[in-house]
Every structure is written in structure tokens, then in C-alpha cells.
Structure 1
Amino acid sequence: MQLFVDNLTNVDFSYLDDERGLVGETWLASVLLDGGLDQTSMIWDFGVVKKVLRNWLDDELDHRLLVPTKSQRLSYEINQDRITLSWSFGNDNVLTMDAPLEAVALIDAKQINEQTAAKWSIKQLSNHFPDNLEHIQLTFEAEEINAAYYHYSHGLKKHDGNCQRIAHGHRSRIQIWCDGARDRNLENNWAERWSDIYIGSEEDLISISDNEQAQMHFAYDAPQGHFELTLPKKVCYIMPSDTTVECIASHIAQILHDENPDSTITVKAFEGLNKGAIFEV
């Protein structure tokens, strides 16, 4: 007998990739359970399934940086409740981070993808399953998007929740209207501009190294602790404000309006799946 819950929840996070570096991502999670019936003639109560699995995913993956601990590109050190790490990617690019340990998920794999993250999650969840459950299949998949989108990472130091973590992210659609007409070219241009980008706030930018491989160093204090992140300048975009989705929608709209001063610009910026902000100027 099998029990399924499609689109159980979604997780927004960033991960370390061999070539792309820091990648913001959003996955939908679904689950398929194999087992015998219990005394209530159920494999597992839907309400309990949703509560246990959704809460675990929210706590252990959502708004974290997923780190492949078996990768030779990684070096890291844990000191009590903090982690420092260094990651090499692409052609001589380096990312470093110093943050509270709760800001990362240490995935026992050489690389991060839907399959390795699911395998690790099931292993971590094993002691939460009832005795009659014989097998669990957890699947992650990205939203099907037939239009412009970008992957971005950021951190919101003023946020009371997990958005304050300096390296979490989203895979997000972008929709733009010029004088009431949908403009696919503007959407594609902005998606290309923000391909695998780190969006940093100007006030969190501590320094920029002056060398051939210029690095940007971000740091701030938040309720969960002190955060620092350094990564190549070429993968960073600096905003003069916070990097909330509200500020992102406003920022994009203002820039496009400056480029098209005689037009009305409307921007619908998504933050992950089915949520975001709209700004018109």
C-alpha cells in the first residue's frame, strides 16, 4: 500500500555548486510512503505526515546554505556553534563564509542536487517514521517556468526569522509590463543580468579587494549572530537598500523607468514560489 502527498511544501535555500558557485534555489517537495495499515487503517495520518515532514524541511533545509561535505573543493571548520568555510568554484573563484552553524545544512555528498539532498533528508528523518512504514521516497523538483527567471542569494539582517541568514536564496520568476503591455525582452534581459547573483545591501558591504580577482566582503550582526561572506565581485549586485522582495521590485522598476522615462513600468518580482511584490512607477 502507498500513500502520497504531492507538493507537500517548498524550500527556499542556496547551495554550493562546482561551476556556478553560490546558487539560490527553490524546490517543491513531494513524498511517497510504502507500508502496512496501522490500527486506524492508515499508513500514516495525513495530518501527521504534513506536520512532521513539513516542519523538518522548514527547520533543516529551508533558508539554509546547503554544503556538500564530501567535495574536494570545500574546506571547513566547526567551532562550537559556528562554522567557517571556503569553497572554490569555476576558474580560480573562491567563496568564504563565517556564520552560525544553524545557517548551513551539511549534506553528506560530493555535490548538491535533488537526489543527494533527498537521500540525506530521508536518512536524517528515519527516526521520525512509525514502525509500519516500510519505505519513504522524498522527491525535490524545481517549478516548471516557461518564462524569464533568475537564481539569487541574499541575507536580510533585520529579519527576526531565518531570512537573516547571509547566504540563502530563491529561484524566482520576473514579470515586467511597459505601458500595460507585457515586455518579454525586458524580463529576459533582467533574468540574464541576475543569473546566479548575490544581491547585497550597500550598508553591509565592508570592503572590495583591489586585485585581479576582486572580492566583495559582506558582514552584519543579526538576532541569530554574526555573519560574514566574501565572494567574487563579478557575481555580486549591490542595492542601496535592503534586499527584500519589496525593495527588489521597486529597484528594478525604478531602473527600468530611468531607462524608459516616458513609460509606465510595472514589475512583479517573485520570491521563490507563488509569492512576491509588485511595484509600478
Structure 2
Amino acid sequence: MGESWLLQLELDGALNEQGMVCDFGIVKKLTREWMDKTIDHALLVPTRMDNLKVEQAVGQTRVEWVYPDGQAFNCLSPSKAIALIDVEEITPESMAEWCRAQLIELFPQEVKGLNLRFVAEQIDGDFYHYSHGLQQHDGNCQRIAHGHRSRIEIFLNGERDQKLEHEWASRWSDIYIGTSAHRKESAEGMHTYEYRAPQGEFSLTLPAQYCYDIDTESTVEQIARHLAARIKQMKPFDEVLVRAYEGVGKGAVSQV
């Protein structure tokens, strides 16, 4: 599943002729471009993980992995949508070390050291933890297996309902939110999603128990709208407002 991490950087080195180790503008530009190109909105695969098989062809990468219960995960994507990480497990610490070793090479020679940390967004209360792909998106959100760890707020008649928040956060814990039109025939107990987007062909197969389909693209706006409509069905005489977030500090509101 996806995460929402904040990136913190510290640079160590000699001062240049401007009295700086490195201009903040350069730091932000280099780091953002590298993160966007390498790991953001990509499927991060720890290549030392057990029961993993990776196949690479021209421009395409297939990842196969077996869950402990014997069920299979299979993803075929353009290679730039999958990041192969030489670690046993994806954690903030392992990713920070892997990224640091590569980022340091991009900075000017005055930069002699780099300390990098990923910090999870602080969320007080419940959150939903999901992955998805947006076929119609022009950017990297079109990638079929990227995700988020996000806040969720539900209000009935202007009052926050934390019980409902907990119910939906539990239902959407480590879930793939798919689009019904993208789902193809697959083996019993499995769901397969396929689509073609500007970056290429995408396919994902995983156990049905980890999936939740909606009738639209799974944008945060449509997720908020879907959730508000579902709650309204259960609470027809109440005014329902849903705030669904995506990543840090951004999201959508739906009211019915």
C-alpha cells in the first residue's frame, strides 16, 4: 500500500563563493525532479523479498509475488512505473538510505554529505490506506499501483462522526480501490484490472479480498463522492459531508 511521507534533507559541505553549501533552489529542484522520476507514484519493490519474481523486457517490467497464504500478486507496467529497490523491506529508514546513496551524486562538489529522512504524516484519528491508478491522468497518477495513507473525516448534520470514520478506515485498510470498467475476467477469488494510459499498458492482478471497486475513476473527488453517497443510503434523513484526503494537505469534499 502507499504512504504519505514528508522528506527532510540536511547537507554537509564546504561553503562556495556565495557563502552557501548549496542554494536552496537547487536543492529543491534536484530533489523534486529525482523523486518524481524515480520513486514518487511508482510501485516500490524490495528485491530481497522472499517469493518474488521480476521479469524485464524492453520498456516493460513484470512483478510477481506470492502472499503467505499462497495467493498471488502480479503487476505488469511500463518500467518507469516500477522502482526496484535493493532492500528486504520498504520502510522509511531503508528508503532513506537507498535514496541518499543516489542523491548525493547529483549535488555540486561542495556537498560532502547528505542526511535524508522520510517522516510519516502525523494523523490524529483514523485514516484510509489504499492504492489505485487513474487511467485518464496525464501525469504519474495514471500508474496502476501507487497509493496513499490519508485522513478521512465524516460529518452527520454538522457533527463529526468518528464511529463512521473508524468503520470506513477499517474497511479501506490496505485496499486497492479499482474502477469497475477496468476489471477483467480472472480466476475465482482474484481481481484483474487492465487499461492503456499515455505511459503505456498497465495490468494488475491481486486477491479480491484486497479490492474495492467503484463505478468511476478513483480520484479523491470521486472517492469522497462515492463515500458520501454510500453513507447517505444508510442515513437518508441526515446531511452527510465527507472530507477525503490524498497525500499531505490536499483532498476533496462531498456533501449530500
TM over 0.5: yes
Q: Tell me by how many angstroms 1:53 deviates.
A: 0.9
Aligned residues: 256
Residues 177-208 of structure 1: per-residue CA shift (max 9 Å, x gap)? 00110111111111000000000000000024
Q: Does 1:182 pair with 2:172?
A: no
Instruction: List aligned pairs for 1:148-187, cutoff 5 A.
Output: 148-187=126-165
Segments ≥4 residues shifted beyond 3 Å: none
Instruction: List aligned pairs for 1:212-231, cutoff 5 A.
Output: 214-231=189-206
Q: CA RMSD in A?
A: 1.0
Q: TM-score, normalised by structure 2?
A: 0.98
Query: Paired residue for 2:187, among 209, 212, 221?
Result: 209
Residues 4-63 of structure 1: per-residue CA shift (max 9 Å, x gap)? xxxxxxxxxxxxxxxxxxx12111101011111111111111111111112211221111
Instruction: List aligned pairs for 1:29-68, cutoff 5 A.
Output: 29-68=7-46
Q: Tell me by how many angstroms 1:76 deviates.
A: 0.6
Instruction: List aligned pairs for 1:52-91, cutoff 5 A.
Output: 52-91=30-69
Q: Percent identity?
A: 44
Residue 236 of structure 1 is matched in structure 2 by 211
Task: Identify the range of structure 1 (197-206 vs 127-136) with the bigger mean alpha-carbon deviation.
Answer: 127-136
Q: Does 1:269 pair with 2:247?
A: no
Residue 230 of structure 2 is matched in structure 1 by 255
Q: Distance in 1 between matches of 2:118 and 2:68?
A: 25
SS of 2:137 mapped into structure 1: coil
SS of 1:25 mapped into structure 2: coil
SS of 1:156 mapped into structure 2: coil
Residue 103 of structure 2 is matched in structure 1 by 125
Structure 1 unaligned spans of 5+: 1-22
Q: Distance in 2 between matches of 1:136 and 1:215?
A: 44
Residues 204-257 of structure 1: per-residue CA shift (max 9 Å, x gap)? 0002422xxx11011001111100000000000010111111110000000000
Q: Distance in 1 between matches of 2:90 and 2:51?
A: 13
Residue 86 of structure 2 is matched in structure 1 by 108
Letter of the 1:207 counterpart: E
Q: TM-score, normalised by structure 1?
A: 0.89
Task: Identify the range of structure 1 (92-101 vs 252-261) with the bigger mean alpha-carbon deviation.
Answer: 92-101
Q: Tell me by how many angstroms 1:120 deviates.
A: 1.3
Structure 2 unaligned spans of 5+: none
Q: Indicate if the aligned counterparts of 2:6 and 2:118 stay in contact, CA closer than 8 A.
A: yes
More strand by share: 1
Letter of the 2:252 counterpart: A
Task: Identify the range of structure 1 (193-202 vs 104-113) with the bigger mean alpha-carbon deviation.
Answer: 104-113
